[in-house]
Amino acid sequence: MATATAQTITDNESRVLKNIQATYGDWRDDLIRHGYAVIKNAIPAERAASLRARAHAWLTSFGTPLDLSDRSTWTSANLPVQSKINTFNAYCVPHERFMWDARTEPGVLAAFETLWGTRDLLVSFDALNVTLPNRADRPAKGAWPHVDQSPFRRGLCCVQGVINLSPSGPEDGGLVVFPGSHALLHDFFDTQTDRAAWQRRDLYMFTEPELEWFAARGAVPHKVCAEPGDLLVWDSRTVHWGAEPSARSREVRTVVYASYAPAAWASEQQLAEKAKIFKRWAGTTHWPHDNIVFRDGRAKLEDGSDDPRNRSEPREMPVLSDQVLKLAGARRLHSANSQPYSNLHVVGGVAADKPSPHGEASADTHSRIPKGPYRLDKLGSRFEGFSAATLSRSFCDDHSSQTTFALFDMALERKADIRPPIASKRDSESFGLSLGAAKLATANEALRAGMLIGSKGLEQYVDYVHRIRALNKRLAEYCSGWRLTTDFPHFGCTKTTAVAESDGIFEHLFDHLNPPNAAEELGDRLKELECAVGQFCAQYAQFKQEQSTWHWDESRQTYCSWFPQGNCWICEDGTKIPA
């Protein structure tokens, strides 16, 4: 065994160690003494319940019969691809809006700001864990005690976190720690392992004999119990694992992993890597500032093929506020002087790199929004890579700027000739509304403007159109070029060249809505549409994998399948055969 040797402590680690006091009189004392802590009610119970519901809605959004209230549907075939430790890392889930909403909860941020003594933090692009207890098709995984810190790292370098969204009692799945093991870890590595075998990877799995060494020194397993809204944090040197529920548990464990560290600890190279990963909506390890490892967001089926349900962007896009961009490390990469990452100025309909010190933004009645040049590096836009025509962020507050950015980009994406009205300079809200009204009116959607006017309505409008684009993109990528058509609620997939544009789909969905409840009704219709597309994609994937399950039509010399949404048969080439 290797003898204890002196280790060089990096400047960052040294700074952390100097900042750690003996006592604080709060949860930090538990973290220092035991290696973990439970921060009660970091998120209010009602918001924790909402986040949990949104996580479950994501889980059931893949067009399968999965029903979390029906245990018989809890099968691998009905679930998106899940890791052996019950985490979901693919399908862009690290960047779903509910994941970012959880990461930016004030109580969660306050805990790490208190711990590190700064508000300038980075966060990991970590996973979602939804553990269905006692599944019939999958044996429970045993203990897998480990630490997420390399033997080469010394001192407190990373504090991991679990945002708990479900009850976690003694019998339920959840975090198991070895209290006090963090203080023993370096001695263990120095005396019980061969230094020549050490790895830089921030992961070490323990064997049973090695755990006996910890037990002899008083460090034994302890199941951490918590309530929805609690935040669990632990030193990365603490031996731990995520336990499976016992046979008596009925709780669906739902947690979001999130680790935060001071942004100053990250190098420019690490920030660049982090920003690239963010741009691809992919995931990372637990480490937010170092060990920035790209996790491929594509799920693989058991046969090694790509899951046809893979997504190239989140189902519900996050709000890309300054706070989110800072935590992601994206804004910092684009602007070393902390100015907005996209500060283009629109004057007379011409975009120019000319930020105004007064934050003015205008467009005259005779000009049109320019059609380019396109930028592929406009990091953070909901319609990234489509246009260089955006309003100065210094003019708009965060909410309105996101709305106007998206509206401009949609217009340019469609290469529409829009004549915007004179922008009101009274406040950012009125400017956003006037631009939104112009966009709506351009598509002959005056009724929609009346129904959805207001900043919330505009945001919904942007969200709906974006979701329709995502559905078309999903069909195009995974169903051999199929697209939505305006009669989709009746049947609505086609492989012909006469393909409806996204705005046409949107217009059709709006037909016969009751204006006072338009937004709510449209949301319901869009959910039905997303469900139908998911079912179609799943059915199409099944057809491609098992054509024997389809009906062979001798007269047409092609396979056909019954499609209940249209009450008809559908041929592979898109031809409909009435019932």
In this structure, of 72-86, 98-112, 453-467, 525-539, the range with the lowest mean pLDDT score is 453-467
Mean pLDDT is highest, among 9-23, 225-239, 271-285, 308-322, for 225-239
Among 121, 113, 112, 155, smallest CA distance to 13 is for 155
Q: Which CATH class is domain 11-279?
A: mainly beta
- The per-residue pLDDT of the chain, averaged, comes to 69
Distance CA 146, CA 148 (A): 7
339, pLDDT greater than 50: no
What residues pair up with 174 in beta bridges, in sequence order? 243
484 vs 140, higher pLDDT: 140
- pLDDT-derived band at 321 (thresholds 50, 70, 90) equals confident
Residue 226: count other Cβ atoms within 10 Å of its Cβ.
22
> Beta-carbon neighbour count of residue 392 at 10 Å?
21
Residue 139, pLDDT score: 85
Cβ within 8 Å of residue 214, ≥6 positions away: 178, 181, 184, 188, 206, 220, 239
Side chain identity, residue 392: S
Mean pLDDT, rounded, for 192-213 = 93
According to the model, what pLDDT value does residue 300 have? 87
Evaluate if residue 14 carries a pLDDT over 80: no
Say what the pLDDT of residue 429 is.
32
Question: Is residue 428 within 8 Å of 480, Cβ to Cβ?
Answer: no
Q: Partners of 493 in the beta sheet?
A: 484
Q: What is the per-residue pLDDT for 54? A: 95
Annotate 200-244 with three-state secondary structure.
CCCCEECCHHHHHHHHCCCCCCEECCECCCCEEEEECCCCEEEEC
Tell whether the model's pLDDT for residue 394 goes beyond 80. no
Alpha-helical regions (H) of 263-421: 268-279, 322-328, 330-334, 398-413
Give the model's pLDDT for residue 276. Answer: 85
What percent of the chain shows pLDDT beyond 70?
53
pLDDT of residue 520: 62
User: Could you report the per-residue pLDDT of 143-179, keeping only the tens digit for each?
Assistant: 999 999 999 988 888 999 999 999 999 999 999 999 9
Host H or E run for residue 52: helix 45-59
Tens-digit pLDDT profile for residues 454-491 = 344 445 555 665 666 666 666 555 555 454 443 333 32
Looking at residue 102, the DSSP 8-state letter turns out to be H
More confident residue, 410 or 125: 125
Domain boundaries, the chain: 11-279, 339-442, 471-578
Output 18-25 pairs: Cβ under 8 A, ≥24 positions apart: 19/116, 19/117, 20/156
Q: Residue 324: pLDDT above 80?
A: yes
**What integer is the mean pLDDT of 509-529?**
56
Q: Which of 81, 95, 242 is nearest to 160 (CA)?
A: 242
- Of 263-272, 331-340, 384-393, 443-452, the least confident: 384-393
Check whether 418 has a pLDDT greater than 50.
Answer: no
Amino acid at 203: L
What pLDDT is attached to residue 561?
63
Beta partners for residue 568, in sequence order = 563, 578
| Pairwise CA distance, residues 412 & 405, whole Å | 11
Q: Name 251's Cβ contacts closer than 8 Å, sequence gap at least 6.
A: 133, 166, 167, 168, 169, 172, 173, 245
Which is higher by pLDDT, 22 or 94?
A: 94
Give backbone dihedrals phi and psi of 54, rounded to 5 degrees, phi first.
-70, -35
Q: Is 356 exposed, middle or buried (0-12, 13-18, 19+ CB in 10 A)?
A: middle
